Amino acid sequence: MGNTLRSVLIGKIDEWPEKLGKTVNIGKIQLAVFKLESGEIRAIENRCPHKGGVLAEGIVTGEYVFCPMHDWKINVLDGKVQEPDIGCVKTFPVEVKENQVYVLLDR
């Protein structure tokens, strides 16, 4: 598996806004990358499965983001939409090495 992923540098962890999301465009892929209250960085697809809302603009609490369009609640760890709504968004592994944040993408 390791061979099929490439890691992409997206920024410095201490420069990432706290408890907020940021839009990250890598080629044609658009990610919502969050720095959670715990300091952890998480990356998901920047597209709510409901109506395509931009999740990077949502309110972040704990491990959840609330879509700014219709308030769907999505777990940023596993991408699962929370009840009573259903669905999921793609998640992307993140690595932090020496203050640098990398997203791992399929080749």
Partner 1 sequence: MKKKNLVLIGNGMAGIRTIEGILNNDSDQYEITVFGTEPYPNYNRIQLSKVLQGDNSLKDITLNDWQWYEENNIRLYPGETVTKIDKNQQVLYTDKGKTKGYDKLIIATGSNPFVLPLPGVNKEGVIAFRNIDDTETIVKYSKQYKKAAVIGGGLLGLEAGRGLLNLGMEVDVVHIHDYIMERQLDRTAGKLLQQELEKQGMNFHLNKVTTEIIGRKRVKGLQFNDGSQIKADLVVMAVGIKPNVDLARETGIPVNRGILVNDYMETEVANIYAVGECAEHRGMVYGLVAPLYQQGEILAKRICGIETIGYKGSVLSTQLKVSGVDVFSAGKINEEENSKVSMLHDDLQGVYQKVIFEHGKMTGAVLFGDTKDGNKFLKYIKSSVSVEEYLQSIETKTNESYSVADLPPDELICGCNGVTKGVIVEAIQSQGLTTIDQVKSCTNASRSCGGCKQLVSELLQGTLGYSYDQNQKEAICNCTILSRDEVVNQIREKGLTHIREVMNVLGWKTDGCSKCKPALNYYLGMIDPLHYQDEKEARYVNERMHANIQKDGTFSVVPRMYGGITTAEDLRKIADVADKYQVGTIKVTGGQRIDLLGVKKQDLPKIWAELDMPSGAAYAKGLRTVKTCVGDSYCRFGTQDSIGMGIRLEKKFEGLNTPHKVKMAVSACPRNCAESGIKDVGIVGVEGAWEMYVGGNGGTHLRKAELLFKFKSGEELIEMIGAFLQYYRESANYLERTSAWVERLGIDHIREVLSIESKVKELNARIEEALSVVQDPWKQAISDTNLLKDLYEAVKIPAETR
Give me the residues that bind partner 1 (CB under 8 A), please.
6-11, 15, 17-20, 22-28, 33, 37, 51-54, 57-64, 66, 68-69, 71, 73, 83-84
Q: Is there a contact between 34 and 65 (Cβ–Cβ < 8 Å)? A: yes
Return the number of other C-beta atoms located less than 10 Å from residue 73's C-beta. 17
The CA distances from residue 57 to 1, 33, 54, 60, in Å, are: 32, 10, 6, 9
CB nearer to partner 1: pick between 82 and 90:
82
The DSSP code for 84 is T
SS3 105: strand
